[in-house]
């Protein structure tokens, strides 16, 4: 018998009833068809992992301009909706719950991936330092982005509403806004990448507005209790720089307080001076999910000690589709192969077996 009773107990994440507190964290795996359509591989991969209380499906672009990576899925076209419908149906049939992470990459974009007719956009025309792997031309610098006009920012917010409508049509149980890792909501939030002087820029009240309005739009479709927000204050990935990361994130949580969204999905801060989990507990009244570097024992302890309601796991889920069963039966975990994290095909994706009992 497992001793992880807190982690394995049923409950509710926002308005979503879950069989346990084990959440599969979102992981970009780049297995979709070239046009972003989810396929049978993705259906099998997610269905294999349906014993998680909740799956947060990988960062998915709402519109072509928001795509970051080759073979990253979208939720824009009727083909995308049909592909994701097969995924959600398979997960539900296996008894699981699944929400979709909406990820607009903003300036983390390359025309070698999106095609030269698709713009790369951002709060300000400031190129992100760094390079991205492209299938057609190897490593490439990010595009110099075009600055969005105020009217265009409102359009991008509407695109988030439409993405949520499409996710609802595809049978998802909810949606999560990807507000970390240097993608568009973070580009608005951070003082370095947002040099605007309109209502979406300037001081921190202006810089939080884009994320607030995206969340409001997503909640208008699903109901607030089925909307989540992913955060990681202090994250510097993809050239993210902010003069006061803790202050910006606190301001964002204060600005969404009256929206009463279902959950906050908080990653551990990569710098010691920020206690992200404490910020989550103090500034958010909905369900708190915490993440980064947990095993089942530590996760169970964290829930017992009321540090959080649920814990999410990413890397364990790469190679342990039956992670929950392994917790219950105290079975060893399989290590994953780094080389196949982002490569096309089933190898290192949907071919990791369940544990032998
Ligand atoms: C292959 C891979 C892809 C990831 N893709 C995403 C993503 O699409 N969205 C996101 O918010 N986080 C993403 N992450 C971060 C994970 O969700 C998670 O926060 C991180 O791996 C730490 O959790 P862990 O220690 O349980 O692995 C990714 C991580 C990995 C390893």
> Residue holding tokens 């992100």?
128
Does 59 sit in the ligand 1 pocket, CB within 6 Å?
A: yes
Atom of ligand 1 at shortest range from CA of 232: 19
| Distance in angstroms (rounded) separating the CA atoms of residues 220 and 215 | 9
345 CB-contact burial (10 Å; exposed 0-12 / middle 13-18 / buried 19+): exposed
Task: List pLDDT tens digits, range 243-295.
Answer: 999 999 999 999 999 999 999 999 999 999 999 999 999 999 999 999 999 99
Q: Is 238 in the pocket of ligand 1 (CB under 6 A)?
A: no
Distance of CA 14 from the midpoint of ligand 1 (Å): 21
Tell me the CA–centroid distance for residue 127 and ligand 1, in Å. 24
pLDDT of 356 reads: 85
Q: What angle do CA 170, 286, 184 make, to 5 degrees?
A: 55
Distances (CA, A) of 279 to 48, 49, 138: 34, 30, 40
Tell me, using a 6 A CB cutoff, whether residue 293 lines ligand 1: yes
- Best probe residue, ligand 1, of 32, 314, 333 (max atoms within 8 Å of C-beta): 314
Which pTM value belongs to this model? 0.98
Tens of pLDDT, residue by residue over 227-245, are 999 999 999 999 999 999 9
Active site residue 183: yes
Q: Is the CB of 323 under 6 A from ligand 1?
A: no
* 317 CB near ligand 1 (under 6 Å): no
Cβ–ligand 1 distance for 234 under 6 Å, the answer: no
pLDDT in tens, 206-224: 999 999 999 999 999 999 9
pLDDT at residue 1 greater than cutoff 70: no
Q: Identify the DSSP state of 181.
A: T
User: What does the alpha-carbon distance between residue 175 and residue 163 come to, in Å, rounded to a whole number?
Assistant: 9
Indicate which residue of 142, 183, 263, 309 is catalytic. Answer: 183
Question: Is the distance from the beta carbon of residue 296 to the nearest atom of ligand 1 less than 6 Å?
Answer: no
Residue in the block written with tokens 């018998």: 1
Q: How far is the CA of 150 from the centre of ligand 1 (A)?
A: 32
Gap between the Cα atoms of 46 and 11, Å rounded: 21
Q: Residue 150 pLDDT > 60, yes or no?
A: yes
> Would you state the pLDDT for residue 357?
73
Ordered DSSP codes for 108-126: S--HHHH-TTS--EESSS-
In order of their start, the domains of the chain are 5-340 (3.20.20.70)
Mutate which of 7, 22, 26, 58 for ligand 1 pocket (most atoms within 8 A of beta carbon): 26
Q: Is the pLDDT of residue 90 over 60?
A: yes
Residue 263 phi/psi, 5° resolution? -150, 155
Which residues does 17 contact at the CB level (< 8 Å), separation at least 6?
A: 10, 11, 97
> Residue 130: which region, alpha, beta or left (left: phi > 0; alpha: psi -120 to 50)?
left
Identify the residue whose C-alpha is closest to ligand 1 atom 23.
292
Average pLDDT, the chain: 97
Q: What is the pLDDT of residues 120-133, one digit of tens each?
A: 999 999 999 999 99
**Residue matched to tokens 């591989």:** 41
Of the pLDDT bands very low, low, confident and very high (cuts 50, 70, 90), residue 2 is low
Protein residue with least CA distance to atom 6, ligand 1: 27
Residue 267 Cα: closest atom of ligand 1: 19
- Please say if the pLDDT value at position 44 is more than 80: yes
Average pLDDT over residues 294-318: 98
Atom of ligand 1 nearest to the CA of 101: 9
Q: Does 267 contact ligand 1 (Cβ within 6 A)?
A: yes
Average pLDDT over every residue of 172-177: 99
Q: How many CB atoms lie within 10 A of CB 215?
A: 25
Q: What percent of the chain has pLDDT over 90?
A: 98
Return the CA Rg of the chain: 19
Average pLDDT for 25-29: 98
């Amino acid at each position: 018998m497992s001793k992880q009773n807190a982690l394995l107990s049923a409950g509710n994440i926002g308005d979503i009833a879950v069989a346990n507190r084990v959440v599969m964290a979102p992981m970009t795996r780049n297995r979709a068809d070239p046009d972003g359509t989810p396929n049978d591989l993705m259906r099998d991969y997610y269905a294999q992992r349906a014993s998680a209380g909740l799956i947060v499906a990988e960062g998915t672009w709402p519109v072509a301009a928001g795509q970051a990576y080759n073979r990253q899925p979208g939720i824009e076209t009727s083909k995308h909706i049909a592909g994701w419908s097969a995924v959600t149906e398979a997960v539900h049939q296996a008894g699981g719950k699944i929400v979709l992470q909406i990820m607009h990459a903003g300036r983390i974009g390359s025309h070698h991936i999106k095609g030269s007719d698709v713009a790369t956009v951002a709060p300000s025309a400031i190129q992100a330092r760094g390079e991205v792997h492209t299938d057609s031309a190897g490593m490439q610098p990010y595009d110099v982005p075009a600055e969005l006009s105020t009217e265009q920012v409102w359009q991008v917010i509407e695109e988030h509403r439409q993405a949520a409508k499409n996710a609802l049509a595809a049978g998802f149980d909810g949606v999560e806004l990807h507000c970390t890792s240097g993608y568009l909501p973070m580009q608005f939030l951070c003082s370095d990448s947002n040099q605007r002087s309109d209502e979406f820029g300037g001081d921190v009240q202006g810089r939080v507005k884009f994320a607030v309005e995206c969340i409001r739009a997503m909640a208008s479709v699903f109901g607030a209790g089925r909307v989540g927000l992913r955060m990681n204050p202090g994250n510097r990935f993809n050239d993210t720089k902010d003069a006061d990361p803790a202050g910006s994130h606190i301001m964002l949580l204060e600005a969404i307080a009256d929206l009463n969204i279902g959950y906050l999905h908080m990653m551990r801060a990569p710098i010691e001076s920020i206690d992200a989990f404490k910020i989550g507990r103090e500034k958010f009244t909905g369900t708190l999910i915490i993440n980064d570097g947990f095993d089942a024992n530590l996760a169970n302890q964290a829930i017992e000690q009321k540090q959080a309601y649920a814990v999410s796991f990413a890397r364990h889920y790469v190679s342990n589709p039956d992670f929950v069963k392994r917790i219950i039966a105290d079975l060893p975990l399989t290590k994953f192969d780094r080389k196949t994290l982002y490569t096309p095909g089933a190898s290192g994706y949907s071919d990791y077996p369940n544990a032998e009992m």
